[in-house]
Amino acid sequence: MHGVNDNPEPRHGGPFVPSTLSLFLPTIVVVVGYGLLLSFLFAAGRGDGALARLCIVVLAIGGPFLIAHAVLRRFTISVAVMPRALYLHRGFPHSQPFEIPYALIDRVSVRRGLPGRIAGSGALVVTLANGRRVVVGDLAQPHAAARAICAHLPEPRVRDLGEAGDGTPDNLPQAAAR
């Protein structure tokens, strides 16, 4: 990035970072699930069977890989609202960041599935004028990031916010259909 785009604007609360709970929740579920199954198998006297060996392999090999994946994603996902462009890095395993001028952004939205609702996180979806979508998942404050981005979109193209029943916007400002 160059010149005036080097620093995020502090009034928008960026850079927006991922939710640690959202990143580690799948790892926790897998490790606890296989750990409980292995404990049950040992308690039932079946600790020497094939299923117990599978649990040990998953815990010994899969657990550290899942932890490493979550840690790498935690330190590589970022969204920075710059004065003239949006800087997105989707995180590990994606290596290329995106620098998108606001004039090229057609729509900004937030997706939240069940894990995102549990962890309080979501995915930021930026749709470009050419139809390409850039998705940054597991953000801790996806609605705040979307509002910060929408504040930079040209005014004639922005629609009003709609409010969901839980107090979070479900219909963020979007560019008008072309």
Task: Report yes or no: 123 and 106 within 8 Å, Cβ to Cβ.
Answer: no
In a domain, 12, yes or no: no
Q: Summarize pLDDT for 105-129 with one digit per residue, the tens.
A: 989 999 998 888 888 899 999 999 8
Specify if 1 maps to a domain. Answer: no
Q: Are residues 60 and 95 in the same domain?
A: no
Contact 145, 88 (CB under 8 A): no
Which residues constitute the domain of residue 38? 21-73
Which stretches does DSSP call E strand in 76-147? Answer: 77-81, 85-90, 98-101, 105-111, 122-128, 133-139
Residue 102's closest CA among 152, 142, 137?
Answer: 152
Band of the pLDDT at 12, cuts 50, 70, 90?
low
Q: Which residues of 26-35 are buried (b: 16+ CB within 10 A; e: fewer)?
A: ebeeebeebe
- Asked if 97 and 158 sit in the same domain, the reply is yes
Inform me whether the pLDDT recorded for 47 exceeds 50: yes
pLDDT value at position 164? Answer: 40
If one compares 11 and 167, the residue with the highest pLDDT of the two is: 11
- Is 5 inside a domain boundary? no
Same structural domain, 124 and 157: yes
Express each pLDDT in 124-150 by its tens digit.
999 998 989 999 989 999 999 998 888
Note whether 143 and 91 are same-domain residues.
yes
pLDDT band, very low/low/confident/very high, at 167 (cuts 50, 70, 90): very low
User: What gap in Å lies between CA 36 and CA 30, rounded to an integer?
Assistant: 10
